[in-house]
């Protein structure tokens, strides 16, 4: 970048509670997500008047309703803005419900050497004390921080890496956890205090452009179902899925196993049957923390430390290559 070029910030809006509206100020749960334009959210944050900003509304959804088309639009815009030398970083406003999946997707596909900071809120913009403006302000501090890189989630003053972050609370204003890895750092009065290094970026220009292109041109993601093993489980759901194999175009199953990726006997038999009929099966742990520790007697391949929802996405992306 030439010294005269200004460091710009890009803010992309996708909806979520941060853009939500409720009829009453004291209602933090009965709101409609994705109502307020991202340009209006940006206007509420003083930190964003201090630098040049490009604002785009990529989508306006409740992130529980995330679909491939929104991911495609978002990934394409993020990739295009990352290529602009004058852009220092990107902030994305997003719902909390599936933010960990979007963060994982963007980090896996782009491994950016600039910061891509997803942020959100647990209370709608109409709340008595909304958390969105502070989270957005913190996200801006992260996106403009010298040396910041990779896809991160910023919420409640904490910076989480895309690979580790998970939503663990349905109501608290600090609903995320990064498990054993811990948070990357925190934001205090716009200052960063870092504990760990930023997510790994691909050496300049070496991210897997083919993988991104495959996502962008896909008409659908390969169908990967996510099921749980639990007390009194059986293989009926898997057998039903296999019965509709051709019609449902089932390509993979991720099973959230008990403990160290163990699976109820009858369910395991059905999963083996699925494997034998060409369906890819991966086991993750339904435990909130830790990962499946591999061992020689393991009956199914494990998710290499990914949570069930991220393992599902990882398998779909891998099957997209096939
Ligand atoms: N359902 C909302 C969403 O994910 C929740 C939130 O943003 O906190 O869009």
**What are the pLDDT digits (tens) for 71-120?**
999 999 999 999 999 999 999 999 999 999 999 999 999 999 999 999 99
Residue in the block written with tokens 């609903």: 175
Query: Mean pLDDT, to the nearest integer, of 6-14?
Result: 93
CA distances (Å), origin 184, targets 56, 109, 119, 142, 158: 27, 20, 15, 11, 8
Q: Can you name the residues that pair with 310 across neighbouring β-strands?
A: none
Q: How confident is the model at residue 248 (pLDDT cuts 50, 70, 90)?
A: low
Listing DSSP states for 223-289 in one string gives EEEEEE--TT--SHHHHHHHHTHHHHTEEEEEEEEBTTTB--HHHHHHHHHHHHTT-EEEEEE-SSS
Listing DSSP states for 161-199 in one string gives ETTT-EE--SS-SS-EE-GGG--SEEEETTEEEESSPPP
Q: Could you give the CA distance from residue 255 to residue 268 in angstroms, rounded to a whole number? A: 10
CA distances (Å), origin 13, targets 38, 59, 90, 139: 5, 6, 11, 13
Query: Mean pLDDT, to the nearest integer, of 172-181?
Result: 97
Q: Look at residues 60, 98, 74, 63 and name the one whose alpha carbon lies nearest to residue 10.
A: 74
Q: Could you give the CA distance from residue 201 to residue 184 in angstroms, rounded to a whole number? A: 15
pLDDT of residue 113: 96
pLDDT of residue 171: 97
Residue of 120, 136, 153, 174 with the most ligand 1 atoms within 8 Å of its CB, for mutation: 120
Q: How confident is the model at residue 208 (pLDDT cuts 50, 70, 90)?
A: confident
Centre of ligand 1 to C-alpha 163, Å, is 20
Q: Which domains does the chain have, with CATH numbers?
A: 3-212 (3.40.50.1170), 222-321 (3.40.50.40)
Centre of ligand 1 to C-alpha 34, Å, is 9
**What are the pLDDT digits (tens) for 121-134?**
999 999 999 999 99
pLDDT of residue 97: 98
Q: Can you name the residues that pair with 256 across neighbouring β-strands?
A: 228, 284
Residue 98 CA: nearest ligand 1 atom is 4
Question: Under a CB-based contact definition with an 8 Å cutoff, are residues 87 and 81 in contact?
Answer: yes
- Of all protein residues, the one whose alpha carbon is nearest to atom 3 of ligand 1 is 95
What are the catalytic residues? Answer: 17
Query: Mean pLDDT, to the nearest integer, of 254-263?
Result: 98
Centre of ligand 1 to C-alpha 207, Å, is 30
b vs e for 99-137, b when ≥16 Cβ sit within 10 Å of the residue's Cβ?
Answer: bbbbbbbbbbbbbbbbbbbbbbbbbbbbbeebbbbbbbb
Which residues are CB-contacts of 318 (< 8 A; sequence separation ≥ 6)? Answer: 280
Centre of ligand 1 to C-alpha 62, Å, is 6
**What are the pLDDT digits (tens) for 305-320?**
999 999 999 999 999 9
Q: How confident is the model at residue 205 (pLDDT cuts 50, 70, 90)?
A: low
Residue of 15, 16, 38, 154 with the most ligand 1 atoms within 8 Å of its CB, for mutation: 16
What residues does ligand 1 touch, defined as CB less than 6 Å away? 16-17, 33, 62-64, 95-97, 120, 122
* Average pLDDT of the chain to the nearest whole number: 94
Length in residues, the chain: 322
Distance of CA 200 to the CA centre of its chain: 16
Q: What kind and span of H or E run contains 297?
A: none
Q: Could you give the CA distance from residue 42 to residue 59 in angstroms, rounded to a whole number? A: 15
Q: Look at residues 31, 8, 29, 9 and name the one whose alpha carbon lies nearest to residue 21.
A: 31
Q: Is 210 left (phi over 0), alpha (psi -120 to 50) or beta?
A: alpha
């Amino acid at each position: 970048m030439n010294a005269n070029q200004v460091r710009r910030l890009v803010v992309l809006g996708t909806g979520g509670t941060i853009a939500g509206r409720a009829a009453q100020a004291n209602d933090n749960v009965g709101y409609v997500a994705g109502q307020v334009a991202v340009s209006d959210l940006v206007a509420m944050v003083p930190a964003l008047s201090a630098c040049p900003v490009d604002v785009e509304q990529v989508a306006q959804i409740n992130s529980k309703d995330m679909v491939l088309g929104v991911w495609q639009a978002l990934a394409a815009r993020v990739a295009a803005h990352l290529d602009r030398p004058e852009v220092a970083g990107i902030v994305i406003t997003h719902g909390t419900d599936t933010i960990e999946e979007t963060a994982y997707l963007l980090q896996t596909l782009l491994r950016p050497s600039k910061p891509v900071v997803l942020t959100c809120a647990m209370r709608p913009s109409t709340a008595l004390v909304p958390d969105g403006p502070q989270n957005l302000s913190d996200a801006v501090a992260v996106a403009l921080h010298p040396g910041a890189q990779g896809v991160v989630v910023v919420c409640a003053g904490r910076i989480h890496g895309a690979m580790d972050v998970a939503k663990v609370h349905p109501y608290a204003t600090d609903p995320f956890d990064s498990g054993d890895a811990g948070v990357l750092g925190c934001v205090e009065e716009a200052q960063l205090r870092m504990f760990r290094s930023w997510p790994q970026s691909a050496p300049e220009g070496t991210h897997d452009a083919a993988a991104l292109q495959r996502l962008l041109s896909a008409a659908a993601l390969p169908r990967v179902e996510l099921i749980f093993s639990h007390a009194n489980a059986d293989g009926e759901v898997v057998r039903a899925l296999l019965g509709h194999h051709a019609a449902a175009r089932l390509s993979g199953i991720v099973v959230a196993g008990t403990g160290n990726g163990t699976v109820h006997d009858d369910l395991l038999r059905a999963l083996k049957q699925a494997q034998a009929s060409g369906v890819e099966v991966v086991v993750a742990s339904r435990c909130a923390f830790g990962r499946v520790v591999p061992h020689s007697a393991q009956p199914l391949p494990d998710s290499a430390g990914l949570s069930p929802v991220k393992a599902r996405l990882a398998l779909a992306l891998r099957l997209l290559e096939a």
